[in-house]
Amino acid sequence: MKFAIFGNTYQAKKSAHIETLFRLLKELDSEVYICKDFYRFLTTESKLTINANGLFEGDDFDADMVISIGGDGTFLKAANRVGKKNIPILGINTGRLGFLADIAPEEIETTIIDIHRNHYKIEERSVLELECDDKRLQMRPYALNEIAILKRDSSSMITIHTAINDHYLTTYQADGLIISTPTGSTAYSLSVGGPIIVPQSNTIAITPVAPHSLNMRPIVIRDDWEITLEVESRSHHFLVAIDGRSETCKESNRLAIRKADYTIKVVKRYEQDFFSTLRNKMMWGADGRR
């Protein structure tokens, strides 16, 4: 198999696990191509000797599978680079929580062997697309987790006029609004009171951030509906964050958010399922009285 590898360049202490991965890939006669920045980090900062078939920059690569080494942030960056290439992504977690990058370092050997034996499953995850006149946002308008509209340069709330399929929904007065996929429902959206959504539910969650009114609650809609937003701000600017990549936007910009025309394919072990991940990663449903 041919692998393209991305990694977090701030985790030198995980080098032993990385060495294990590259040793296994070599033993299985895999072709290995590494993101140039990550390769430089491994050889210069971590002092590792890495035998690779080649290096690549940006999204100039092709492979049978992508391996992301780091946390969920690294996985999101890899997914953004993969885009419409239709290449499945395996996330090895050397970060903290790891919902997307959910292969623990001690599972690397068994996971790579299972992949070599074609014993794994692939989950398709929906992606959001932002349409906006701002050219900076047009460069990479896709989000696997969420698109967040947030206040900027002011303690005052922003006003977000929201419509669904051109039908008026409501006007949010809040610090922001998060539009999330089911994948992103356990990320930023969850931290501000959004619902946990099963990945294959074909839905989008709309969750306000610190709304001024107590009766403004999260709402879940179909993912084939389009959301349009018009923002007012005292500073006449606001932030648009696409999977954490933020840009300042003028309030005159009208935003349209819809499901993208492609999915991200996530590699999972057969033993993994969404509910066990919730229990293990979040202690979901745990009874503290025991």
Average confidence score pLDDT of the chain: 91
Looking up tokens 């202490």 gives 13
User: 164 or 272, which is more confident?
Assistant: 164
CA torsion angle 32 271 93 205 (round to 10):
110
287, part of any domain:
no
In terms of domains, do 34 and 9 share one? yes
50, part of any domain:
yes
| Tokens representing residue 206 in the block | 């709309």
Task: Pick the closest to residue 112 from 90, 93, 96 (CA basis).
Answer: 90
In terms of domains, do 246 and 197 share one? yes
215, part of any domain:
yes
In terms of domains, do 45 and 151 share one? no
Helices (H), the chain: 15-27, 36-40, 72-82, 108-116, 135-139, 188-191, 274-282
287 catalytic residue (yes or no): no
Q: 52-59: which pairs have CB atoms within 8 A and are 24 or more residues apart?
A: 56/4, 59/83, 59/85
- 44-48, 228-232, 261-265: range with lowest mean pLDDT: 44-48
25, part of any domain:
yes
**125-149 pLDDT per residue, tens:** 999 999 998 888 888 899 999 999 9
User: 276 or 103, which is more confident?
Assistant: 103
- pLDDT of the residue at 127: 98
Give the whole-angstrom CA distance, residue 177 versus residue 186.
16
289, part of any domain:
no
Give the structural domain span for 250.
128-261
Mention every residue, 6+ apart, whose C-beta is less than 8 A from residue 12.
45, 46
Q: State the DSSP code for 58.
A: T
In terms of domains, do 39 and 136 share one? no
Read off the CATH number of the domain in which 209 is found. 2.60.200.30
**43-93 pLDDT per residue, tens:** 888 788 888 999 999 899 999 999 999 999 999 999 999 999 999 999 999
CB 160 within 8 A of CB 149: yes
In terms of domains, do 170 and 244 share one? yes
Mean pLDDT of 227-242: 94
Give the whole-angstrom CA distance, residue 66 versus residue 219.
34
Give the whole-angstrom CA distance, residue 123 versus residue 111.
16
Read off the CATH number of the domain in which 100 is found. 3.40.50.10330
In terms of domains, do 245 and 135 share one? yes
> Which position among 29, 37, 60, 72 bears the catalytic label?
72
Residue 12 has pLDDT above 60, yes or no: no
**192-229 pLDDT per residue, tens:** 999 999 999 999 999 999 999 888 999 999 999 999 99
